[in-house]
Amino acid sequence: MNSDFVFLDKNIYPAWKNTKNNNVISVVSDCQDSHLDLIYVHNLLSDSLESSRLIEEKKTKINQKPAYYKKIIGELESKNIEIQSYSLINNSCVYLISLSGKPNLINESQKEFLKFMKDIDFKK
């Protein structure tokens, strides 16, 4: 990953923060709840926002695996935020991988986020 991103070692789930624009790439997984699906799992992010609004959603693929993409904007602690997230299932686990940040700065990390998605390797 780009050297502008640093690993946040105090988070419950893996996350990396860009030191220049404060955008965050994070990975949330759930291997216990078998009824979670690709669409529902995005609620983990949108439910934490105030005044959230859906911008885009679509079925897609990540490394040949079925995935679901969702882009939302809203407020978190009275600050504007945009979240671009992908969900996928691997070995009975649901993963939610997201890029979040200020709407006017999030595209600065788009290239790194797409590379992260392309390079993701799930352990068997």
Going along the chain from its start, the domains and CATH numbers come out as 5-119 (3.40.1000.10)
pLDDT tens sequence for the chain (124 residues): 667 999 998 888 899 999 999 999 999 888 887 677 888 888 877 888 888 999 999 999 998 889 999 999 999 988 999 999 999 988 888 899 999 999 999 999 999 999 998 888 766 5
Prediction pTM value? 0.89
For 22-76, the DSSP string reads --EEEEEEESS-TT--TTGGGHHHHTTSEEEEEEEEEEEEETTEEEEEEEEEEEE
pLDDT of residue 56: 96
